[in-house]
């Protein structure tokens, strides 16, 4: 396959703007060939995930890029790192790996990326507009940008994200192109109670089910209420990107590329139509758990990072059901949300109730929790999915209210009506 490169692409490759941009364009072009692209396109912004420390090799890579002081050419934000820079005591790492993680974060800052350190950049910064070509990393941010905002990005990850930011170029392939944004598999909600349809927890469970079933195909969801909250869609996308490789979903009557089913399918027939009823949702909820309902060590919230609206729902619940002293209650958010909570005194109220607020990072990417045994309950499909491997705790999944009331009791509390048939 021959890749058509522009004059500027060729001059970058030849090293005319330095070895770092040459390496960056070599990787973008290499990935364009993997994707089967005919050429490259310009992007208007980037979100970079490579600042999270996974080992010495990440530094080997960024230090190659730093050699000639290359800087990003489009507005670029940073995803979480492995440290809470505002509350260093939150992260339990040895001095050596703390130093390496800090160096990695600093390397990306020195390339001109904005250090917002969040996996929910779409709730922290100016958002990409409908139809804009962007290069985003972080699986939940990718699916939100594509699905909820209608911006266009492929599933970029570590390395290619910063290469796109340094060159302003991305492969003209995949979800950058209209024809690949067509819905393939239809998931039709059927018999789900009005109450559950309006609960945020539906997003995570439905997303987990859809991601398991559709792999990397574009799913189309039918039956979500038109007024479905943004945080429900955020949970849906994050869950689908944990259990599957979903980078774009359509929700008919809810997301911008799906005013109706026919438009979401680009006028073609779906490959399959899957009915999703209460029993399927309950089963998906149970697959999210690896531990039995019982005593709890931890309740963890905020993956993706908690939004101001989610704190508005959490606070009154916690006032009624303050956490049990034996339960570690941790909420991960980003520093701008925390600043808002501090300003209105809510952060102090939360801390007095024993809630630990973590910023710039989260519990599944770096060691934060004190508990080393027992179960972790969460309303985040991503936490539930990754806690057993990344934290070493069994996971239990529930709604926000189930999580708060369980933290209050020190053992899992189930809402008797939530998961029933309508």
Partner 1 sequence: MIELRAERVLVDGRAEGEVVVLERPLSLWGGLDVASGEVVDPRHPQKGAVLSTRVVALPVGRGSSSSSSILLEAVRLGTAPAALLTLEPDPILALGALVARELYDRCPVVAVLGGEAWAALATGQWATISVGGGLALASRRPLPEEPPA
Exactly one of 332, 364, 396, 412 binds partner 1 (CB under 8 A); that residue is 364
Q: How many CB atoms lie within 10 A of CB 125?
A: 17
Q: Does residue 224 touch partner 1 according to CB under 8 A? A: no
Residue 157 interacts with partner 1 (CB under 8 A)? Answer: yes
Does the footprint of partner 1 cover residue 300 (CB under 8 A)? no
Listed ranges 89-97, 176-184, 258-266, 385-393: which one lies at the site for partner 1 (CB under 8 A):
385-393
22 lies in the site for partner 1, by CB under 8 A: no
Number of amino acids touching partner 1 (CB under 8 A): 45
Q: How far is the CB of 408 from partner 1 (least distance, A)?
A: 28
Question: Least Å distance between CB 277 and partner 1?
Answer: 23
Rule CB under 8 A: say whether 385 interacts with partner 1: yes
| Cβ nearer to partner 1, comparing 7 with 55 | 55
The reply on whether position 396 binds partner 1 by CB under 8 A is no
Interface with partner 1, residue 291, by CB under 8 A:
no
- Candidates 76, 146, 242, 406: give the one binding partner 1 (CB under 8 A): 242
Question: Phi/psi class of residue 112: alpha, beta or left (left: φ > 0; alpha: ψ in -120 to 50)?
Answer: left
- Considering the complex, state which of residue 26 and residue 313 has its C-beta at the smaller distance from partner 1: 26
147 binds partner 1 (CB under 8 A): no
Q: Does 146 interact with partner 1 (rule: CB under 8 A)?
A: no
State the DSSP string of 239-254: HHHHHS-----EETTT
What span, in angstroms and rounded, lies between the C-alpha atoms of 211 and 226?
22
**Under the criterion CB under 8 A, does residue 156 sit at the interface with partner 1?**
yes
Q: What residues contact residue 316 under an 8 Å CB cut-off, 6+ apart?
A: none
Could you say whether residue 155 binds partner 1 (CB under 8 A)?
yes
Of 228 and 243, the one with the shorter C-beta distance to partner 1 is: 243
Task: List the one residue from 82, 111, 137, 281 that touches partner 1 (CB under 8 A).
Answer: 137
Report the relative pairing of strands 185-189 and 219-222 from DSSP bridges: parallel
Distance, CA of 18 to CA of 377 (rounded, Å): 49
CB-wise, 170 or 265, nearer to partner 1?
170
According to the binding rule CB under 8 A, does residue 219 interact with partner 1?
no
Residues 28-87 that bind partner 1 (CB under 8 A): 30-31, 34-36, 49-50, 52, 54-58, 60-61, 64
What's the N-to-C CA distance of the chain in angstroms? 54
Under the binding rule (CB under 8 A), the answer on residue 372 touching partner 1 is no
CB of 421 to partner 1, least distance (A): 27
Nearest by Cα to 288 from 384, 402, 392, 418: 384
Q: Out of 139, 167, 303, 399, name the contact with partner 1 by CB under 8 A.
A: 139
10 Å CB burial of residue 299 (0-12, 13-18, 19+) is buried
In whole angstroms, give the CA distance from residue 125 to residue 70: 24
Under rule CB under 8 A, residue 235 binds partner 1: no
Q: Based on the shown chain and the rule CB under 8 A, indicate whether residue 103 belongs to the binding site for partner 1.
A: no
Distance CA 34, CA 320 (A): 54
184 touching partner 1, by CB under 8 A: no
DSSP 388: I
Structural contact between residues 368 and 91, judged by C-beta atoms closer than 8 angstroms: yes
Q: Is 206 helix (H, G, I), strand (E, B) or coil?
A: helix
Q: Does 2 bind partner 1 (CB under 8 A)?
A: no
- Is the torsion defined by CA of 86, 87, 90, 92 positive or negative? positive
d(CA 338, CA 357): 8
In this structure, the number of other CB atoms found within 10 A of the CB of residue 63 comes to 12
Burial zone of 282 (CB within 10 Å; 0-12 exposed, 13-18 middle, 19+ buried)? middle
- The residue (of 151 and 160) whose beta carbon lies closer to partner 1 is 160
| Residues in contact with partner 1 by the rule CB under 8 A | 23, 26-27, 30-31, 34-36, 49-50, 52, 54-58, 60-61, 64, 137-139, 142, 154-160, 215-216, 241-245, 287, 290, 364, 385-386, 388-390
């Amino acid at each position: 396959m021959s890749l058509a490169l522009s004059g500027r692409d060729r001059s970058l490759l030849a090293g005319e703007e330095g070895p770092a941009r040459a390496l960056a364009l070599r990787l973008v072009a290499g990935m364009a060939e993997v994707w089967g692209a005919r050429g490259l396109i310009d992007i208007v912004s980037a979100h970079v995930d490579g600042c999270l420390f996974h080992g010495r090799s990440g530094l080997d890579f960024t230090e190659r890029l730093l050699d000639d002081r290359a800087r990003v050419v489009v507005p670029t934000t940073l995803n979480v790192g492995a440290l809470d820079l505002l509350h260093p005591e939150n992260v339990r790492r040895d001095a050596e790996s703390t130093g390496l993680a800090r160096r990695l974060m600093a390397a990306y800052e020195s390339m001109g990326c904005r250090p917002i350190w969040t996996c929910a950049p779409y709730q922290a910064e100016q958002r990409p507009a409908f139809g804009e070509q962007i290069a985003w990393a972080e699986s939940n941010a990718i699916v939100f940008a594509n699905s909820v905002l209608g911006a266009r990005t492929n599933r970029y990850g570590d390395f290619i994200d910063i290469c796109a930011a340094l060159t302003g170029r991305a492969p003209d392939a995949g979800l950058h192109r209209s024809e690949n944004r067509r819905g393939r598999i239809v998931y039709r909600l059927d018999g789900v109670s009005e109450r559950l349809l309006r609960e945020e927890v539906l997003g995570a469970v439905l997303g987990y089910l859809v991601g398991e079933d559709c792999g990397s195909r574009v799913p189309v969801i039918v039956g979500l209420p038109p007024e479905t909250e943004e945080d429900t869609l955020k949970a849906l996308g994050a869950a689908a990107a944990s259990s599957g490789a979903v980078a774009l979903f359509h929700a008919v009557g809810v997301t911008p590329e799906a005013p109706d089913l026919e438009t979401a399918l680009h006028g073609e027939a779906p490959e399959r139509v899957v009915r999703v009823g209460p029993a399927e949702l309950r089963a998906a909820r149970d697959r999210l758990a690896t531990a039995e309902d019982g005593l709890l060590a931890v309740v963890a919230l905020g993956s993706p990072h908690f939004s101001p609206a989610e704190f508005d729902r959490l606070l009154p619940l916690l006032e009624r059901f303050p956490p049990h002293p034996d339960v570690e209650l941790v909420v991960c958010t980003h520093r701008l949300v925390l600043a808002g909570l501090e300003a209105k005194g809510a952060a102090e109220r939360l801390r007095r109730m024993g809630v630990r607020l973590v910023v710039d990072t989260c519990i599944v990417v770096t060691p934060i929790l004190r508990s080393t045994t027992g179960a972790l309950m969460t309303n985040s499909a991503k936490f539930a999915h990754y806690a057993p491997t990344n934290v070493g705790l069994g996971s239990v999944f529930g709604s926000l209210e189930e999580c708060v009331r369980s933290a209050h009791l020190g053992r899992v509390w189930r809402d008797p009506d939530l998961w029933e048939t309508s």
